[in-house]
Structure 1
């Protein structure tokens, strides 16, 4: 009840500002009220192996909650088994004009067109160093808006090389709908070239640092079954370590008529739940357990978390569910899903 009271107040504020204020609040140290309401429930330890790493449980944060790695420790205190920060780009960029985040409250949805706003990879690395967090940190990377799509792979290689020693795993975001032409990297020769070069870079850095950092590819929910089969084959061929399914969708048909439904951008939350689970099922069938799946998209209950896992996800991630249901849902999923 306490969180839903807080949510009512937060929902009176513009979404991006409310997000910022909430994270700032999380970072207040030694705040007894926060400890009492949000850290009260004891969470089970359910270690799970994935990508050669040991996660303390299956539930992590999705990219986008903490773009610059400023709140790693605070988010970890909520009980998440891993924290994925980003999306971050080689150079800082301000993203798309505001307002760029919109709630669809009746259906627990969010539309965003952020556009990879972040303070750059170097700033992120500094924040990881400062966090002193010893758990699993995934770093989600993308390309700068002004980088031509045919040169996009260079942006990913820059980020991989810089963050390699500080990340537990690296997520390659080629599926955001809010950076022009980015999704083209999921197809044909651009996709093959990307996989070849990032795998080559991974091998070089593994040899150099004697440390293997897994790489995951984050894909779109707007891919056809045929395209998913193709992607699965390429992921196996290039021995990619994991696939994250999925990013936000450009299909707004499920929210037609609702306030903000006509806003441009990627739709997430409950409206994405069914489609992302379908994508996981298709991937699971075609990957044949050779590559693990990290499931994300519309997890808003224990039931929806279990559905993602039953469909083939080894790990799961949450974003919108945290906004609409608060830390208690995190605790429930960890203990019961």
Structure 2
């Protein structure tokens, strides 16, 4: 059934297909049809001080505004990550900005943090969260027109806004689609930014009694020395976990394909091996205790198992959902349960 639906959806521009898919799924769930979907695989994991019903989550980017929480939860995910969200809503980059590469089971996107703003997302989570029973993470970023030297102000504003509704927060320093953003992954810029967020998070916990783990999402394009430095710096700053990885700016794996030369981050199957390697290197550098969320190229249950065996505690999918459909959630969760737990 999904194969036929995908053929029809792939006749539409990618963003239009996204809207049609979620419109249909939202209608189905609101009409009570969610009970027709396969039941969630129950294979609990305790990570980041949270209980996850299973190890398979939705990666940030698919539901930037939190408008589809109930529908996505009905697909059997063990957790959802919303965003990336910025302090003020922004349109993102001009269209076209999302491209399919079907022969490679890949996407290239340069969406540019298009979202309705952190206030919209918080309201959406407050409405939906009581009706779902899985952790909800929020991925935060800076507005495009905020100077890099003031990036910390945007991240703090988002952190403060979502602290009361998020189960964990991910600091996105690795998107390739906001100019200069990846420079915040190195040197004094990183240590100052993450240190200030750690301090503010601790203050919020003291004020509210609510602990919200702080995670940093990293790029797959760092060389060995840069990655080692980054992991050490994040641990020294007291970060609670690392997400590895974001999309890659290296398009060599799809060279010659239609759209391969489009600017933006590449995701999907071509990213799988690189992302797994980064997970393994982060685990080796960080030791056994730092939680790692793996993302990048998970297109099957075996791919999910590979990430766990490389050192991840949890996995996330996005592009795989588009190419393989909702059954991937169940297959991945079941494979991890049967082969890793």
Instruction: Indicate whether the TM-score tops 0.5.
Output: yes
User: Alpha carbons of 1:119 and 1:32: their partners in 2 closer, same or farther (altered >3 Å)?
Assistant: closer
Q: Paired residue for 2:125, among 94, 110, 128?
A: 128
1:161 aligns with 2:160: yes
1:97 aligns with 2:97: no
Query: 2 CA distance for matches of 1:315 and 1:27?
Result: 26
Structure 1: 5+ residue runs without aligned partners? Answer: none
Query: 1 CA distance for matches of 2:200 and 2:30?
Result: 42
1:238 aligns with 2:229: no
Instruction: Work out whether residues 109 and 320 of structure 1, in 8 Å CA contact, stay in contact via their aligned partners in 2.
Output: yes
Deviation per CA, 1:215-235: give whole Å up to 9, x if none: 000000111111110011112
In the other structure, the counterpart of 1:88 is 85
CA-based RMSD: 1.1
Query: 2 CA distance for matches of 1:106 and 1:23?
Result: 24
Further displaced range: 142-151 or 27-36: 27-36
Query: 2 CA distance for matches of 1:152 and 1:121?
Result: 15
In the other structure, the counterpart of 2:196 is 197
1:55 aligns with 2:52: yes
Deviation per CA, 1:39-86: give whole Å up to 9, x if none: 1x3443111011111111100000001000000111001000001000
Query: 2 CA distance for matches of 1:82 and 1:327?
Result: 14
1:298 aligns with 2:294: no
* SS, match of residue 221 in structure 1: coil
Q: CA deviation at 1:333?
A: 1.1
Instruction: Work out whether residues 80 and 137 of structure 2, in 8 Å CA contact, stay in contact via their aligned partners in 1.
Output: yes
User: Normalising by the residue count of structure 2, what TM-score does the alignment of the two structures yield?
Assistant: 0.96
Q: CA deviation at 1:332?
A: 1.1
Query: 2 CA distance for matches of 1:80 and 1:71?
Result: 13
Deviation per CA, 1:228-281: give whole Å up to 9, x if none: 100111121111001000000000000000111011100000011110000001
In the other structure, the counterpart of 1:139 is 138
Number of positions where the alignment pairs a residue of Structure 1 with one of Structure 2: 333
Q: CA deviation at 1:135?
A: 2.0
Q: CA deviation at 1:290?
A: 3.1
After TM superposition, the structure 1 = structure 2 runs for residues 260-279 of structure 1, keeping only pairs within 5 Å, are 260-279=259-278
* SS, match of residue 27 in structure 1: helix
In the other structure, the counterpart of 2:5 is 6
Instruction: Work out whether residues 43 and 335 of structure 1, in 8 Å CA contact, stay in contact via their aligned partners in 2.
Output: no
Instruction: Work out whether residues 83 and 138 of structure 2, in 8 Å CA contact, stay in contact via their aligned partners in 1.
Output: yes
In the other structure, the counterpart of 2:113 is 116
After TM superposition, the structure 1 = structure 2 runs for residues 249-328 of structure 1, keeping only pairs within 5 Å, are 249-328=248-327
After TM superposition, the structure 1 = structure 2 runs for residues 37-76 of structure 1, keeping only pairs within 5 Å, are 39=37, 41-76=38-73
Write out the 4+ residue segments of structure 1 that deviate beyond 6 Å after TM superposition: none
Instruction: Work out whether residues 177 and 248 of structure 1, in 8 Å CA contact, stay in contact via their aligned partners in 2.
Output: yes
Deviation per CA, 1:122-163: give whole Å up to 9, x if none: 000010111133420000000000000011011000000111
1:214 aligns with 2:213: yes
Structure 2: 5+ residue runs without aligned partners? Answer: 337-341
Query: 1 CA distance for matches of 2:122 and 2:285?
Result: 35
Instruction: Work out whether residues 156 and 197 of structure 2, in 8 Å CA contact, stay in contact via their aligned partners in 1.
Output: yes
Instruction: Work out whether residues 236 and 290 of structure 1, in 8 Å CA contact, stay in contact via their aligned partners in 2.
Output: no
Query: 2 CA distance for matches of 1:30 and 1:14?
Result: 26
User: Normalising by the residue count of structure 1, what TM-score does the alignment of the two structures yield?
Assistant: 0.97
